[in-house]
Structure formats: structure tokens, C-alpha cells
Chains A and B, each alone.
Chain A
Amino acid sequence: MRLSLANKLSFLYASLIYLFLYMPIAILILYSFNQSKLNAVWTGFTFDWYLKLMQNTEVLEAMKTSLVVALISTIAATMIGTLAAVGMYRYQFRGKTALDAMLYLPIVIPEIVMGISLLALFSQFEIPLGYLTLIAAHITFSIPFVVVVVRARMAGFDRSIEEAAMDLGATPWGTFIKVTVPIIAPGILASALLAFTLSIDDVIISFFVAGPSSSTLPLKIFSMVKFGVSPEINALSTLMLVVTLFLVIIAERIRMRKN
């Protein structure tokens, strides 16, 4: 009895938090069907914005850029960051404190400072602005977040498990892949999600390091603000949400069936 009450309360609490997280999303979806362009008052139901979106090559192109940049930078940042977290957990070495500082500072400095300083760097070395600089910048600001999250997972990690695996004859690499990674996997997943989220939504740093022909979706949206963001963006967000949710559910289904 008591347990089920606790379960009910848990369920209620979790639902409230999800309600908080999804309330604005519901509004966003609702307004993708609104006739008014000003995104202000409800004037009537329409599918127009979805049709217009399909013809808006600029927005679609920007979305493609955003996805490519986010995917590549997430993979790279998660790899570099996870290795770093493991290494920093395991080893003592000179310069560790310095590395710590270098990893936390990017989280705090206002994005504009990072954006301008990266632009200064790229122009100093005459690196043309484009996909390369965008991805490099996104990896740079994602790594610290990955390291922090994976390290939280590593803290208090029981090394005797690794030792046991090696006692049983596993190679160091085998141990790392078969033992260490599965244990810290939730941390890696969480950090990858975080990195992707950061990348897909970044504006300020992207503004400074994007070239004339590599505009991301947030940049495009921010540039629309002056004249009112068109509900096409709501339509696009809705579609992206639906696709993401769909993929997530399919992946889960497959995984559960395997189990």
C-alpha cells in the first residue's frame, strides 16, 4: 500500500515536471496552425505555414547545416570529452589543474567573448569561415559539458571491477570497452544529448564563426526576429519534434523487442 502511494506521488511529480517542460512546446505547436503571421493572437486554423515551409529553401538549407554541424560536433566532442573524463579520473599528471581550468572556463565566459576570440584566431591564421570553423567552435564549447557530466558518473567508480576483469584475462582495451564504458554509458549518453542540444541551439558563437554561405537555423531565426519570426519556424519545430519523438519511440521498440 505505502509503496503504491509513493509510486503515485512519484508519477504525479514527474508528470508535473513534464507538464512544465512541454507547456511552451504545446503552445509552439498550436501556433504553427495559427493564421496570423505576427504570432500574437489566434485568428484561425491553417496548414499554410507547413506548405510555405516546404518551399522555403533558405530555412530548410539552414536546418540541414544545423543538423550536420550538431551531429559531427556531438560525436567528436563526446569522444574527446569522454576520453578526457576517463583519463582525468584515472591519472595524476602535471598540468591537471590547468586542464581543469581550461575545461570549466568555456562554460562561464559569455559566448560573445568566445565568439569574437575564435573569430580573431581564425582570421589570424587565415582559415576561411565555413563548416570547418563552425564545427570546430561547436566541439570546443561542447567538450567541457561532456567532461563534467561523464566525470560526475565516474566519481566513486569502483576500480576493483576493472581489476577483476583483468584478473580474468581481459586486455586493458577489452576491459575499457566491456567493463568501463558500459558502466559510464548513461553518463556518455546524457553528455551526448547535452552536446547536441547546445549545438543545435547556439546563436552567438555561430554568428561569429559562420561564413557567408553557412548559416545555421538559429542564426536564420534570429535574423528573422526584426520583422517577426514567421510561424513557418513553429511548423519546422513541430515537424522536428514529431520526427525526433518518432525515431526515439521506434528505437525503443526495437531495443525492447531485442531484450
Chain B
Amino acid sequence: MNPPVLDSAPANQLQNETKLKYQIDYGKAWTIWPVFIWMILLFLLPMILVFAVSFFSRSSFGGIGFPLTLENYSRFFDPLYLKIIWISCVLAFYTTICCLVLGYPFAYIIARSPTQYRNILLLLIIVPFWTNSLIRTYAWIVLLRTEGVINTFLLQSGLIEQPLSLLYNESAVMIGLIYTMLPFMILPLYASIEKLDRSLLEASKDLGAKPWQTFWRVTLPLTTPGILAGSLLVFIPSLGLFFIPDLMGGSKTILIGNHIKNQFLTARDWPFGSASSIILMVLTLVFIAVYIKITKDKQGKDLV
């Protein structure tokens, strides 16, 4: 519990001294410190524990024991585990692309709708997600299963003669993942599109650009931060998500999330589980480094 300490901000004095530059320093201390302290105590510290464990060995009874070793890391670079992480990446990638393609026009429509409806339209995206995810997934299962709502409807309307196998396959997994991750794409996209300056679009139109040219040359580049943020928010959690693939795909594939869970729970090999988590984190950091690099370049352009 580290609420920002407000009164200690030396804002007024500093402001007088550097009035010309408007370099307001009141904020630096307490915009950054709360999050810094919080994340160090409740994220970094626990992660250091995980990191430490990754160098131990599994004792015969599933505890953490000596000797200290790097074997947990070398073990991961086995075709089996590399394949698992590859499958996870591919699945997360498809999810991201689908969410982006579905979500962008939608976020655009909301951001361009009359102002008084925007908040309510936004809330309507989120409301379904205030129900329990397990119950929601079961509802999808009711829709998709062999004797489910969709099959019954199609059979009775005479469109098909044999029930379709909709559940426990890859498309079911994709539907589940897109359903779960879509708001994570729409919200940052919306935030980014909404602030788009309309006069720029009009200027582009006045200069004779066709609508798609305006979109491609003006709208899309200006909303890139939203696209990247949304993609990151979808891609990264999809990497570790296994609950939807398990329920809607019938648990027939193992993803990196399953693998880590199995190490901590079933195999009780905490050191290997920790090492796998660290590797996953390093992989994420690579993605994030790329993201930061792209967005920084982008910002540079914007500011010039």
C-alpha cells in the first residue's frame, strides 16, 4: 500500500525556477515511484524467488534440493519443448491477427459514433466479460456441441443433414480465444482512434485522396500505437493461456502454459517449471523490446 505522497511534491518551487521550460518536475517523483515500489515488492521480489529456484534440482519427492545446476535450462532446448513453444506462438499469432481484423473496424465505428453513445457502446463490449469465464465457455460449448443450439437450428432448417462437428477442434479453440481476447484489442484501438484528429482526415480528403488512401496513409499510421498496444495485449496473454484450448479443444494439445502448469503441479518439478517460466519471460522481453523500438521510432516521428 503505497499511495502517492502528495504534499511532499516540491512542485511549486520548482515550477517557479524553471517556468520557461515548463519542465514540470512535480510529477516525476510520484508518478513513477508508486508503480516502481509496488512492482518491485510484489512482482520483482517474487520473481527473484522463481529465478533462484530455477537453478536447484528436483528432490525425489518433488521438493527443491541441491545440487545447483543449469540443467533445467539446457533441458528446455529439446525439440519437444521447442515445438511446444512454437505451437503456442503460432496460436497466439493467429488469435492476434483475427482480433485485429475483427476489432479494428469495430473500434473505428464506435469511435466515430455520436459522442453520447460512445461510452455505452464501449461498456457493452465489456459487460459480457463480467460474467464468469467458465460459465461463458460452457455457454459456447452449449452452442457448438453436436446436439447444441447451432446444430439443432441448422438441422431443423434443413441446411444440413448430419450434425457438424464444431467442438473439440482447432476452429473451436480459435473461436474461444478470439472471444476472450477481443476486448483487449478493441479497448486500446478505441482509445487510439478516438483521439485521431478529424481535421487531418478532412485535409487528406480535400487534397484529393481517395478514402482508402486516407485510411492507408493517415488513419492507419496515426493509430499504430493502438494497434501495437492491442496486439501486445492479445498476443502475450494468448501465449500463456491454456484454459480455453483445454475446454474447447478437448485438452488434446499441450501449450507452454500447460507445460509450466504441469511442471509445478503434476510433475512437481518446480526447478524445471521455474526455468521454463524464465525462458518464456525472456521470450516476452524480446517481443516487448521490438515493440518499444517500433513505438519509440513512431513517437519520434510524431514529435518532429
> Could you tell me which A residues sit within 8 Å of B by CB distance?
10, 13-14, 17-18, 20-25, 27-28, 31, 39, 41, 79-81, 83-84, 86-88, 90-91, 93, 95, 97, 99-114, 116-118, 120-121, 124, 136-137, 139-140, 143, 145, 147-153, 155-156, 162-163, 166, 171-173, 175-176, 183, 186-187, 189-191, 193-194, 196-197, 200-201, 203, 217-218, 221-222, 225, 229, 233-234, 237, 240-241, 244-245, 248-249, 252, 255-256, 259
Q: Hey, which chain A residues are within 8 Å of B281, CB to CB?
A: 105, 108-109
The one of A23, A28, A114, A145 that contacts B135, using a Cβ cutoff of 8 Å:
A28
Q: Which of B46, B222, B256, B277 has the most CB of A within 10 A?
A: B46
A121 near B42 (CB under 8 angstroms)? yes
Complex Cα gap A149–B187 (Å) = 7
Q: Is B168 an interface residue (CB 8 A)?
A: no
Shortest CB-to-CB span from B19 to chain A, Å, is: 8
Given A102-B44, A117-B47, A112 contacting B136 (CB threshold 8 A): no
Asked if B155 is an interface residue, CB under 8 A from chain A, the answer is no
Contact partners of A114 in chain B: CB under 8 A = 43, 46
Cβ–Cβ < 8 Å partners of B15 in chain A:
171-172
Task: Say if the beta carbon of B120 comes within 8 Å of chain A.
Answer: yes
A14-B109, A148-B233 are known contacts. Are A248 and B120 too (CB-CB below 8 A)?
A: yes
Q: Are B188 and A189 in contact (CB under 8 A)?
A: no
Question: Given the known A-B contacts A217-B132, A234-B135, are A14 and B110 also in contact in the complex, defined by CB atoms under 8 Å?
Answer: yes
- Give complex CA distance A20, B229 in Å: 23
15 more A-B residue pairs beyond the given contacts A13-B109, A117-B47, A200-B130, with a C-beta to C-beta distance below 8 A: A28-B135, A31-B139, A117-B49, A121-B46, A140-B42, A150-B191, A152-B191, A155-B225, A156-B299, A194-B184, A201-B130, A225-B134, A241-B127, A245-B127, A252-B120
Within B100-157, which residues are at the interface with A (CB < 8 Å)?
102, 105-106, 109-110, 112, 116, 119-136, 138-140, 142-143, 147, 149
Among A93, A140, A225, A244, contact of B28 (Cβ-Cβ < 8 Å)? A93
Q: Is the CB of B188 within 8 A of A120?
A: no
Question: Taking A20-B179, A153-B192 as contacts, is the C-beta distance between A176 and B27 under 8 angstroms?
Answer: yes
B21 CB to nearest chain A CB (Å): 10
